[in-house]
């Protein structure tokens, strides 16, 4: 229940927005590990950023209401697409950064998601559509 | 005598000129950076004519694309091990490749894995004692506006390295011979008519067509090392299973 409250179920607007583009996103990559019919939102603190191929990873620590810490892994596309589209590099995320990740959850219930949108601490949003 | 000398001189000049013309004859221009455009994860929209061996391997295939998709950790796709897919499989990776035409070689520089392919254009034959490789041994020639490339001597099917011609799990063996016919449809479109000849995997040769689109101006091939996955701590790291 705690997790359910922390991991906000996608609002209709978000669902509609992602449903429109979800199937085309990362068409080169099998999304079979993630449920593209669902969208969740994760807010937390960056623990680690692995910019690499074929997929990059961002680990975020999420505090539960009981004070425990859950670590969520966000999966992104590889280095070249992130660099070419957004000028992201190894310094884009630093431990301690406050980040919101929106994406498709793992089918197996693991604390991981395929990232679709990032909201930085300053409110800047990056839509990962087409990566 | 002066007239005879002049005649000889003219003849020699003509010979030189014709030789130079032969060497500088305009060749079709395929240079540039290209990427697969359109089409799905299969090489052919029709079901290829698989042999019993081919059907058995196809049934055993666990692809991560198409109607039989499984999760990455369950997949038997070579690309999930970051192994080169061979030809034409390499074109299915969603990354660009550059064609460089040299006088005696045509090079294909693939962004995926910084992999390159060398197509010999010097009239040589296939080696009598070949070394089997992931990308095979390629010999090419120009036929009018077409670049014809024949490739053989691939590393074939192995139980721990499934070899497919596409992303749907259509297999190939070490007998595979690929003939590609590249033709420019227009300035920004390249067509490749591909014939798969593999008597082990297929009951007869079959042909399919792929299309590549020219990348936008200013696009440059970058470094994409799939094997970095070994370092990844993502939960679906298929090199850690």
- On whether any CB of chain A is under 8 Å from the CB of B237, the answer is no
- How far apart CA B155 and CA A20 sit, in angstroms, is 42
**Per-chain mean pLDDT for chain B:** 90
The DSSP secondary-structure symbol of B89 reads: G
Q: Are B125 and B137 in contact (CB under 8 A)?
A: no
Which pairing describes strands B146-152 and A69-77: parallel, antiparallel, or unpaired?
A: unpaired
Pairing, β B189-197 against β B206-214 = antiparallel
Query: Which token pair is B171?
Result: 């297999």
| The CATH fold of domain A2-26+33-127 | OB fold (Dihydrolipoamide Acetyltransferase, E2P) (2.40.50)
Residue B197 pLDDT = 98
Residue of B65, B70, B231 lying closest to A52 (CB–CB): B231
Partner B contacted by A67 (CB < 8 A): no
pLDDT score of B229: 84
Q: Note down the domain range covering B132.
A: 27-231
| N-to-C CA span, chain A | 33
3-state SS, residue B119: strand
Q: What is the mean pLDDT of residues B131-147?
A: 97
pLDDT value of residue B24: 56
User: Residue B205 sits in a domain of what CATH number?
Assistant: 2.40.128.20
pLDDT at B80: 87
Token representation of residue B181:
């016919």
Q: Is residue B8 part of a domain?
A: no
The rounded distance, in Å, linking the Cα atoms of A108 and B74 is 13
pLDDT of residue B15: 46
In this complex, how many residue pairs, one in chain A and one in chain B, have their CB atoms less than 8 Å apart?
Answer: 67
pLDDT of residue B8: 54
CB atoms within 10 A of CB B186: 8
pLDDT at B130: 94
B38 Cβ contact partners less than 8 Å away, ≥ 6 residues apart:
B211
B184 falls in which pLDDT band (50, 70, 90)?
A: very high
State yes or no: pLDDT of B82 exceeds 80.
yes
Residue numbers of chain A with a pLDDT score lower than 70: 1-31
Nearest CA in chain A to B238: A54
> Total structural domains in chain B?
1
Q: What percent of chain B has pLDDT over 90?
A: 73
Q: What is the pLDDT of residue B233?
A: 86
Give domain status of residue B6, yes or no: no
Contact B235 A32 (CB under 8 A): no
Cβ burial, residue A66 (10 Å; 0-12/13-18/19+): exposed
For chain A, give every domain's residue range: 2-26+33-127
- Give percent of chain B above pLDDT 70: 87
For residue B240, the model assigns a pLDDT of 61
Q: Is residue B35 part of a domain?
A: yes
Using a CB–CB cutoff of 8 Å, tell me whether B70 touches chain A.
Answer: yes
State whether residue B36 sits within 8 Å of chain A by CB.
no
Cα angle: B186, vertex B190, B196; to 5 degrees: 145
pLDDT tops 50 at residue B12? yes
Alpha helices in chain A (DSSP H): 2-6, 12-22, 79-86
| Residue spans of beta strands (DSSP E) within B73-165 | 97-101, 105-110, 115-120, 137-143, 146-152
Using a CB–CB cutoff of 8 Å, tell me whether B240 touches chain A.
no
| pLDDT at residue B56 is higher than 90 | yes
Residue B99 pairs in a beta bridge with: B32, B108
Could you tell me if residue B16 is inside a domain? no
Whether the predicted pLDDT of B191 surpasses 50: yes
pLDDT at B13 over 60: no
Label residue B51 exposed, middle or buried (CB < 10 Å: 0-12, 13-18, 19+). middle
Q: B10 in a domain, yes or no? A: no
Question: How many CA atoms lie less than 13 Å away from B31 in the CB half-sphere?
Answer: 7
């Amino acid at each position: 229940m705690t997790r359910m409250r922390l991991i906000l179920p996608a609002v209709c607007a978000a669902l509609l927005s992602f449903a429109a583009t979800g199937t085309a996103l990362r068409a080169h990559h099998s999304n079979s590990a993630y449920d593209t019919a669902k969208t969740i939102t994760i807010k937390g603190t960056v623990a680690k950023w692995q910019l690499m191929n074929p997929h990059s990873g961002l680990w975020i620590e999420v505090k539960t209401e009981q004070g425990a810490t859950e670590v969520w892994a966000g999966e992104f596309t590889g280095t070249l697409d992130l660099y070419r589209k957004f000028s992201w590099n190894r310094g884009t995320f630093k431990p301690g950064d406050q980040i919101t990740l929106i994406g498709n959850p793992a089918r197996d219930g693991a604390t991981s998601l395929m990232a679709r949108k990032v909201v930085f601490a300053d409110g800047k949003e990056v839509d990962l559509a087409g990566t | 005598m002066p007239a005879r000398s002049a005649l000889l001189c003219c003849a020699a000049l003509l010979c030189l000129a014709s030789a130079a013309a032969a060497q500088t004859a305009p060749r079709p221009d395929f240079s540039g950076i290209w990427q697969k455009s359109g089409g799905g994860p299969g090489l052919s929209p029709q079901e290829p004519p698989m042999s019993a061996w081919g059907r058995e391997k196809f049934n055993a295939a666990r692809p991560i694309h198409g109607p039989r998709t499984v999760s990455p950790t369950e997949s038997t796709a070579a690309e999930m091990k970051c192994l080169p897919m061979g030809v034409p499989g390499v074109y299915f990776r969603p990354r660009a490749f550059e064609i460089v035409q040299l006088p005696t070689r045509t090079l294909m520089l693939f962004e995926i894995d910084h992999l390159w392919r060398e197509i010999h254009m010097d009239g040589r034959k296939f080696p009598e004692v070949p070394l089997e490789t992931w990308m095979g041994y390629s010999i090419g020639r120009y036929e009018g506006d077409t670049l014809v490339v024949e490739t053989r001597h691939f590393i074939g099917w192995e139980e721990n390295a499934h070899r497919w011609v596409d992303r749907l799990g259509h297999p190939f063996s070490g007998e595979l011979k690929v003939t590609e016919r590249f033709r420019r449809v227009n300035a920004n479109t390249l067509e490749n008519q591909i014939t798969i000849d593999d008597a082990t995997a297929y009951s007869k040769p079959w042909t399919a067509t792929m299309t590549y689109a020219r990348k936008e101006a200013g696009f440059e091939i970058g470094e994409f090392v799939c094997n970095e996955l070994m370092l990844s701590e993502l939960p679906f790291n298929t090199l850690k299973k």
